[in-house]
Amino acid sequence: MISLIVTAYEDPNSTKESMKKLLNQKNFHEKFEIIAACPDEPTKEVIMDYKKKHPKIIRYVKQDGDRQKNLLMNKIMKIAKGDIIIWTDGNKFLDEDAVSQILKPFEDPSVGVVGGRPTAMNDKNSMMGYWAHLLTNASDKMREIRYKKGLLIEHCANLLAMRKGILTEIPLDVAEDAIISYLITEKGYKNVYVSEAKVFVMYPRNFKDWVKQKVRSIKAHEAMNKYITKKDIKMKSFSNELFYGLYLSLTYPRNLKELYWTLLLYPARFYIWMKAFYEIRVKKDHYQSSWSRSESTKVLDYKK
């Protein structure tokens, strides 16, 4: 049994498409269930419509009022029936064979966690869209490099699979994807990256939302310091970004316009790191796992 989890938040149209893609996966013949969760009524209506059509497959879970995603994930881990739990979001779209690809490594019983490859849906002809493609490409290359070297890979919750029973719950004050990757690896299980398992993601389409998302991500990963005591084990850090990011980003541009946009990315990245550190160390404003989605990351529910 496989449990496919969709966590959604005010994305009714996107969630409808996301669940459609889950139900139409190719090369996937395992028995499965879909657990879909959200806190809002419009998205719940979409989920319940699917439940009427597939009552034996789909289950709806009401998200608690505090809207903490990590708390919701702990709740779902307790009720999921599958031996393998696959996480995605209502505004993310899995490639047609993403599920079969991400399940392959689990044929090895020593594999505990597997991550897929986020792929930008943004228009590459705009600066923000180009940044999205550059950064997802750099993350893919970085994960491949670290996987080959046997280093810790912090997967993305956009498409993350885990073997049930290794973890009973995750901490509430840290990035869910990074801490799952770390805790399962620390228990001695293999951590695998599958770039062929693609999930399509819309990244921020304006600078304000981009800063909000990136600062939040940095704060979430900095909170990992409470749980990781070994030095230089984290994948996402300021030093790793300087070491990997400089090389990977400079090899990506294909023309002068893209090179110009790439050069603009450096001061922007420096700004978000400084802003994040200021909020953490001066304002003492630490990461909280409540939903805080930027409007422009929505796909079919985006309101300009």
Query: The domain 2-287 is classified under which CATH number: 3.30.457.10, 1.20.120.420, 3.90.550.10, 3.80.10.10?
Result: 3.90.550.10
Amino acid at 170: I
Q: Give the angle subtended at the CA of 229 by the CAs of 72 and 156, to the nearest 5°.
A: 40
pLDDT score, position 291: 57
pLDDT score, position 91: 92
Alpha carbon 173 to its chain's center: 16
Six token digits for residue 244? 């990997």
Six token digits for residue 225? 């310091």
Beta bridge partners of 58: 34
| Per-residue pLDDT in tens (0 to 9) along the chain, 304 residues | 999 999 998 889 999 999 999 999 998 888 999 999 998 899 999 999 999 999 999 999 988 755 678 888 999 999 999 999 999 999 999 999 999 999 999 999 999 999 999 999 999 999 999 999 999 998 898 899 888 888 888 899 899 999 999 999 998 888 888 889 989 998 999 999 999 999 999 999 999 999 998 888 888 777 777 777 665 555 565 555 655 566 667 788 899 999 999 999 989 988 998 988 888 777 776 666 555 666 788 777 666 6
Q: How crowded is the C-beta side of 245, counted as CA atoms within 13 Å? A: 18
Q: Are 8 and 90 in contact (CB under 8 A)?
A: yes
pLDDT score, position 289: 56
- Checking phi first, is residue 90 left (phi over 0); if not, alpha (psi -120 to 50) or beta? alpha
Q: Give the angle subtended at the CA of 180 by the CAs of 237 and 26, to the nearest 5°.
A: 110
Task: Give the containing element (helix H, strand E) for 2.
Answer: strand 2-7
Beta strand 32-38 pairing with 58-62: parallel
pLDDT score, position 235: 57
Q: Are 58 and 131 in contact (CB under 8 A)?
A: no
Q: Indicate the domain borders of the chain.
A: 2-287
Please choose, from the candidates 78, 101, 86, the residue with its C-alpha nearest in 3D space to the C-alpha of residue 2.
Answer: 86
Return d(Cα 50, Cα 84) in angstroms, integer: 22
Q: Are 107 and 101 in contact (CB under 8 A)?
A: no
Amino acid at 181: S
pLDDT score, position 222: 74
